[in-house]
Amino acid sequence: MKNRLERFRAFIAAQTGIVLEADRDYMVDTRLLPVMRANKITSLDILLDQAMAGTNPSLTQSVIEAMLTCETFFFRDRPVFQVFREEILPEMIEARQSTRCLRIWCAAASTGQEPYSLAMILDENAAALKGWQVEIIATDISSMALETARSGLYNQFEVQRGLPVALLLRYFVREQERWRIAEHLRSRVEFKQLNLKQDFKSMGEFDIIFCRNVLMYFDPDTKRHILGRMSQSVADGGWLILGATENTSGLAKELAPDLRVPAGYRPRHHALASSRIVSRMSVRV
């Protein structure tokens, strides 16, 4: 069994880039028990062997998805959204006046709370964005998470996590015991299934990329490859925003931190210019 679990950890890493620590092998049994029951498989050994064999793609996908951590909530790490509203969005509106186009990518969007949080902020700034083409593309490896995200339907616990009551009443409609986000916001977010280990160059460049709280699950080489490719997807003058505990140190020389934004990075020459502005402001104060 130990050898099989080692192979399974290697299998998950190869498929998703996610590192399953050996001291958390108990999670394999716990998370895969519902998959065993749903497929009437009598032992974990049989399930792992069939999943790794790949002869049943649907089963393999179910096993992979069961091992994913889909933790998210509305306005997670509130200071990031405050800076987005007060600093990043006004700056991008000014910088993109000639094209009047704004593209945002939420990578590893899980069940959709992050892109919908951004959609609410954009809706609050509708007057400044009148006549603009605004795209929010949200991706995730999990088809189950994306199904929830596309529906925009959340239970009471989920809407209570981070969502101010005023925004709940303004942007959601009660449906029995759950809440559905307003259709005009739901239609503004395009959800796509994407494994970050795969090529995403065809998606084009983005003015702002949110890739938060997912790199922590990857090994250093996978982080380096993803960040290297993602840095090429940041449009000139754009932003890459990571999770609060994540950074690009030693992983993406093309990006440098912007001191105004928690875990915010920009193409290096823009980040350095912003740092000089912040430094001059500090001297004047």
> What is the distance between the alpha carbons of residues 64 and 163, in angstroms, rounded to a whole number?
30
Same domain assignment for residues 51 and 91: no
138: helix, coil or strand? strand
**Residue 180 per-residue DSSP state:** E
In the residue annotation, 123 being an active-site residue is answered as no
Last residue in a domain, options 33, 66, 99: 66
196 with 256, same domain: the answer is yes
Q: What CATH number did the domain enclosing 271 receive?
A: 3.40.50.150
| CA pair distance 82, 104, nearest whole angstrom | 16
Q: Is residue 264 part of a domain?
A: yes
pLDDT at residue 285, rounded to an integer: 30
Whether 204 and 131 map to the same domain: the answer is: yes
Residues 30 and 83 in one domain: no
Interval 270-281: pLDDT, tens: 544 444 433 333
Q: Is residue 12 part of a domain?
A: yes
pTM here is 0.88
Same domain, 19 and 46: yes
Residue 58 counted as domain residue: yes
Evaluate whether residue 197 is within a structural domain: yes
Each of the 285 residues of the chain gets a pLDDT tens digit; together they read: 568 888 999 999 999 988 888 777 788 889 999 999 999 999 999 999 999 998 999 999 999 999 988 889 999 999 999 999 999 999 999 999 999 999 999 999 999 999 999 999 999 999 999 999 999 999 999 999 999 999 999 999 999 999 999 999 999 999 999 999 999 999 999 999 999 999 999 999 999 999 999 999 998 899 999 999 999 999 999 999 999 889 888 787 888 898 888 889 998 755 444 444 333 333 333
Residues 234 and 270 in one domain: yes
Looking at the structure, do residues 29 and 134 belong to the same domain, yes or no? no
Is 188 a member of any domain? yes
Measure the CA–CA gap between 176 and 161, rounded to whole angstroms.
19
- Classify residue 210 as exposed, middle or buried by CB count within 10 Å of its CB (0-12, 13-18, 19+): buried
Rounded CA-CA distance 257/218 in Å is: 21
Catalytic residue (choose from 4, 31, 224, 260) = 31
Q: In this structure, are residues 225 and 195 in contact, taking their beta carbons and an 8 Å threshold?
A: no
Total structural domains within the chain: 2
pLDDT at 249: 81
**55 and 131 together in one domain:** no
Q: Residues 96, 47: one domain? A: no
- Give CA torsion, residues 127, 129, 131, 133, to 10 deg: -150
- Quote the pLDDT of residue 284: 36
- Residues 94 and 205 reside in one and the same domain: yes
140, 186, 207, 258: the active-site residue: 140
Beta carbons within 8 Å of 58's beta carbon, 6+ residues apart: none
| The last residue of a domain, from among 41, 66, 91 | 66
| Domain membership flag for residue 284 | no
**pLDDT tens string 242-280:** 998 898 887 878 888 988 888 899 987 554 444 443 333
> Do residues 22 and 108 share a domain?
no
Which of these, 68, 247, 218, lies nearest to 143 by C-alpha position? 68
Within-domain flag for 212:
yes
DSSP 114: H
Q: Are 148 and 137 in contact (CB under 8 A)?
A: no
Those residues whose C-beta lies under 8 Å from the C-beta of residue 5, and which sit 6 or more positions away, are 22, 25, 28, 48
Cα distance between residue 100 and residue 132, in whole Å: 5
- Quick one: 174 and 228 in the same domain? yes
Q: Is residue 72 part of a domain?
A: no
For residues 136 and 115, is the Cβ–Cβ distance under 8 A? yes
- Give the range of the structural domain holding residue 25, as residue numbers without chain letter: 2-66
Tokens of 183: 């259709």
In the listed set 66, 87, 113, which residue is the last one of a domain according to the structure? 66
pLDDT for position 1: 54
